[in-house]
């Protein structure tokens, strides 16, 4: 994390602050506020010899809506001051155990296990090689890599459990269930047939366009696998009714069902990014809808070039 890029914070240099660097492999950032009974009130960071006393570094001081910018190490600390602190986890725990701070965050991160880095890299390479070159299913390879990382101590099971966004996982399960329900009731199939059938008489390019668009729209609602399974038979049936080669229409379904950019619920990867990065729902539409339109146009132009509308001999 680059604290210097945080909006509203102005950090002095180490020379200006009179502080040495915190030499540690696992420095984290935390915030603490001075409570009413803090022993630090009325004293400056310089008087307290804060760096040597606690083994952490004060990066910024915030007071009554303002950031103290000029030599804040000489400013007398007051009740309600918020301090941005950097240091290793064990030092942070010792600092906040003093009860002079009201902890505004928790040191959830653990120190980097650099000695385990070769094992983690080996697990990653094993996953890549076996996943691409061996007949073993990718799920089995992934589980083997995860077990290797856990058993060798690169990652603890509790850390792995906390890292999982369980809300996102359950949302994905719900999306798959919704897609299965729509498939079983044939609602999506009926909609697709109606949309494609109305443009059947307008020519192959119009049908190709609507097939791709239907797949791209439906994949934002249900899983891409379900869309491909539902629309592929429809596309083949329409192509046969027109006396054309079904391949360009099947390719349109394939590309369209994979073009999920407009919503965070259309594909699992979108949902993971949505939860982890803090995006808003509308952020996907602002970028995803124009991208979907561009790919739609490109597909209509290029698919017939590589898979021509060759009339089928009867």
Q: Give CB contacts under 8 A, 24+ apart, made by 171-179.
A: 171/265, 171/271, 172/268, 172/271, 175/222, 175/223, 175/265, 175/271, 176/223, 178/221, 178/222, 179/221, 179/222, 179/223, 179/225, 179/226
One domain, residues 255 and 293: yes
Are 58 and 21 in contact by the 8 Å Cβ rule? The answer is: no
Are 263 and 291 in contact by the 8 Å Cβ rule? The answer is: no
One domain, residues 206 and 289: yes
pLDDT tens column, 201-253? 777 888 898 889 888 888 888 777 777 777 787 787 777 777 788 899 989 98
Q: How many residues does the chain have?
A: 314
With bands split at pLDDT 50, 70 and 90, how would you rate the model's confidence at 150?
Answer: confident
Query: Which residue range(s) make up the domain with 139?
Result: 114-163
| 302 pLDDT higher than 80 | yes
Please report, for the domain that includes residue 78, its CATH number: 3.30.70.1450
Could you tell me if residue 137 is inside a domain? Answer: yes
One domain, residues 143 and 181: no
Could you tell me if residue 234 is inside a domain? Answer: yes
Could you tell me if residue 313 is inside a domain? Answer: no
Could you tell me if residue 198 is inside a domain? Answer: yes
One domain, residues 159 and 281: no
How many domains does the structure of the chain reveal?
3
| 58 pLDDT higher than 90 | no
Is pTM beyond 0.85? Reply is: no
With bands split at pLDDT 50, 70 and 90, how would you rate the model's confidence at 297?
Answer: very high
The Cα–Cα gap between 111 and 205 comes to 58
One domain, residues 68 and 125: no
Could you tell me if residue 312 is inside a domain? Answer: no
Q: How many CB atoms lie within 10 A of CB 295?
A: 17
């Amino acid at each position: 994390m680059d604290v210097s890029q945080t909006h509203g914070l102005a950090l002095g240099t180490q020379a200006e602050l009179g502080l040495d660097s915190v030499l540690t492999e696992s420095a984290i950032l935390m915030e603490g506020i001075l409570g009413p009974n803090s022993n630090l009130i009325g004293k400056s960071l310089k008087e307290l010899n804060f760096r040597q006393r606690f083994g952490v570094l004060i990066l910024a001081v915030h007071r009554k809506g303002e950031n103290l910018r000029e030599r804040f190490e000489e400013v007398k600390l007051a009740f309600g001051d918020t301090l941005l602190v950097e240091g290793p986890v064990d030092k942070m725990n010792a600092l906040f155990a003093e009860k002079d701070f009201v902890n505004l965050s928790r040191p959830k991160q653990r120190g980097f296990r650099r000695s385990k880095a070769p094992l983690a890299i080996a697990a990653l390479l094993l996953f890549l090689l076996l996943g691409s070159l061996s007949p073993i299913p990718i799920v089995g390879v992934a589980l083997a890599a995860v077990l290797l990382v856990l058993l060798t101590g690169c990652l603890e099971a509790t850390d792995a459990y906390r890292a999982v966004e369980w809300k996102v996982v359950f949302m994905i399960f719900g999306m798959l269930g919704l897609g299965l329900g729509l498939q079983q009731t044939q609602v999506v199939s009926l909609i697709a047939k109606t949309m494609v059938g109305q443009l059947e008489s307008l020519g192959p390019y119009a049908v190709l366009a609507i097939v791709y668009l239907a797949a791209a729209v439906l994949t934002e609602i249900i899983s891409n696998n379900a869309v491909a399974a539902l629309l592929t038979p429809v596309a083949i049936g329409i192509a046969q009714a027109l006396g054309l080669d079904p391949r360009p229409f099947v390719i349109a379904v394939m590309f369209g069902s994979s073009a999920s950019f407009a919503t965070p619920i259309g594909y699992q990867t979108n949902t993971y990014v949505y939860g982890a990065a803090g995006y808003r729902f509308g952020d996907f539409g602002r970028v995803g809808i124009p991208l979907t339109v561009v790919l739609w146009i490109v597909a209509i132009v290029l698919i017939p070039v590589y898979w021509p509308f060759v009339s089928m001999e009867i």
